[in-house]
Every structure is written in C-alpha cells, then in structure tokens.
Amino acid sequence: MGRRNNTNVSDFILRGLTDSEEIQLVLFTLFLLIYLVTVLGNTGMILIIHLDLQLHTPMYFFLSHLSFLDLSYSTVITPKTLENLLTSTKYISFVGCFTQLYFFVSLGATECFFLSSMAYDRYVAICNPLQYPVVMSTTLCRSLITASYVIGFGVSFVNVLCINTLHFCDSNVTHHFFCDTPPILALSCTDTHDTEIMILIFAGSTLMVSLITISVSYASILSTILKINSTSGKRKAFSTCASHLLGVTIFYGTMIFTYLKPSKSYSLGKDQVASVFYTIVIPMLNPLIYSLKNKEVKNALIRVMQKRESTR
C-alpha cells in the first residue's frame, strides 16, 4: 500500500444532487435524454465531417476532434450519474473515483487547448486568408491536436498525483454527483493547502495560456473586421467565428466560476448546478452551436444523404 497506509477509505459515496426519489427520477429522465442527444449529435458531427470531402478543412478537423472530446467527456460522467440516480447504493471505489477524476480533468484541460487552436485557426482564416492553406497545414493541425492531448493529460496526471498524496480517514461521503477536485479535497483529513496551491498553479496556467491565446486571436480578428468597409463583409467575417466565440464563452464562464477559487468557498448548490451544466449540458450544446446556423454542415448533411440514396 505504501503511501496509502493512512488511507482508511476504500470507496466514496456520491450523495448526488438530491435525496428525493421523485426528483431523482425526473433528473434521470432528463439526463438520459441529454446524454442520448449528446451521443447522437457528436457522433453525427464526426461522421458528417468524415464522409463529406468538402468539410476536410482545418476548422472541421478541429471540430471533429472537439466532438470526440465532448462525447468522451460526457461518457466519463453521465453513465455513473444515471446509475446513482436509480440505485440506493451510490458507492464508487477509491480507484474508480480517481480514474474518473483523472479522465475528467484530462479531457477538460485538453478542451481548453482545442478551443485555443480553433481560435488561432479563425485568426489565420480572417486576418491572413491568402496564407491560410500554407499556415494551417495538415502537419500543424495534427501537431496542435497532439500537443493538446499531451498537455491536457499531463496536467491531469499532476493534479491526481497531488490529491493521491493526501490521506482520507474520516468521512467518505461527498456531496456531489461525480468525483471532482473540490469535494474530494474537502474529505481529506490532512492539510490540503500545498496541494491546493499546486492544483491552482497548473489549472490556472492552463486556463490563462488558453484564454490569452483566444483573447489575442479575437482582438486581432476584431481589428481586422472593423477595417472591412462593407456591412456584408463584416457580417460574413463575424459569422465564421460567432459559433466558436459562443462555445468559448459558455465553457470558460462555467469553468472559471467553479474552479478559480479556494475549495473552502465551495458552494453546494451553485457549484453543483454549474457542474451539471459543463459536464452534461455543454457536450450536448456544442454540436448544436456549431451546426444549427452553419450552412456548410447542413449542406454536407444533404450531400451525404443524397449520396447514400444514390448508392442504394
């Protein structure tokens, strides 16, 4: 056991969102529907981008990986949440809890860098359109995706390693619906100050680097759009990045609200609602945000359906 000699907790109890059986049934139905829409939406987006040659561009290359990430992100949290809403025993093993925490943080950090890469892609497309095919080469796109995964999973490894040095010897009841950093830290029977500082440094650095990249990209995009004389030209330029900007605002807004503060200020009600939003709702919203007002995706869907009919 080594370092875990003083860890008497072999599992955790996830108390979830409510103790009311009626509300649990309503939440189960709601979350199940959201998860099904998430799976269908993200899987559909990946398939359309893969099957339609006209969508084989850097923007949709990033978008297909974002859909895969959202699908994985939701699958790490939602199935266990659905199980706990139906059962009276809401246990999760120590290893299972830390595994869920690892993949949750990994995918969240990776998404931060995905969104940064997509912002840079929009910057090149609008500010340097003639150089776009050269700058956003296949090699660069793959390198950005690979780097995002490596950094995201690396940051998560440090995060989980720091938490694993703590001892859990008192209560094993966490008032949350999944294994998240603040409620797990609150269960430790040892001082968590140093661990919190380390986590805050790595999480803060991840957020700041990605936010600075996005902010600089959009500042340059805004400057370029303002220099366009025609109203239609401005509208067209803005429409190419409006969906991404909305996705960024929703994702970072909930993440900053929940995590960039001390664990002692963790609010059971507000933080749980925010957690539901970014773990269950946002993965469903992203395919809708990027496709509903996107004529290229709609036209691609029509082409794929027509090709399928002609093949038959």
Looking at residue 138, which CATH number applies to its domain? 1.20.1070.10
- Rounded to the nearest 10°, the torsion over CA 67, 71, 76, 77 is 100
Query: Ranked by mean pLDDT, which of 119-123, 271-275, 303-307 comes out on top?
Result: 119-123
The per-residue pLDDT for 7 is: 57
Question: Which band of pLDDT confidence, cut at 50, 70 and 90, is reported for residue 42?
Answer: very high
Q: Would residue 227 count as lying in a domain?
A: yes
Out of 23-32, 75-84, 274-283, least confident range: 274-283
DSSP state, 39?
Answer: H
pTM summary value: 0.87
> In this predicted model, what pLDDT tens digit does every residue of 237-285 receive, in sequence order?
788 788 888 889 888 888 777 766 555 555 555 667 778 888 898 899 8
Q: Would residue 4 count as lying in a domain?
A: no
Q: Would residue 120 count as lying in a domain?
A: yes
H-type helices in the chain, by residue range?
A: 21-51, 58-86, 94-127, 132-135, 138-164, 181-187, 193-226, 231-259, 268-276, 282-291, 295-311
Domain of residue 57 covers 12-296
Question: Which band of pLDDT confidence, cut at 50, 70 and 90, is reported for residue 1?
Answer: very low
- Rounded to the nearest 10°, the torsion over CA 284, 286, 289, 292 is -60
Query: Ranked by mean pLDDT, which of 68-77, 263-272, 285-294 comes out on top?
Result: 68-77
Q: Would residue 3 count as lying in a domain?
A: no
Quick one: tokens of 75?
Answer: 């699958």
Q: Would residue 197 count as lying in a domain?
A: yes
Q: Would residue 307 count as lying in a domain?
A: no
Query: Ranked by mean pLDDT, which of 100-114, 193-207, 229-243, 279-293 comes out on top?
Result: 100-114
Q: How many domains are contained in the chain?
A: 1
pLDDT tops 50 at residue 135: yes
Q: Would residue 2 count as lying in a domain?
A: no
Q: Would residue 213 count as lying in a domain?
A: yes
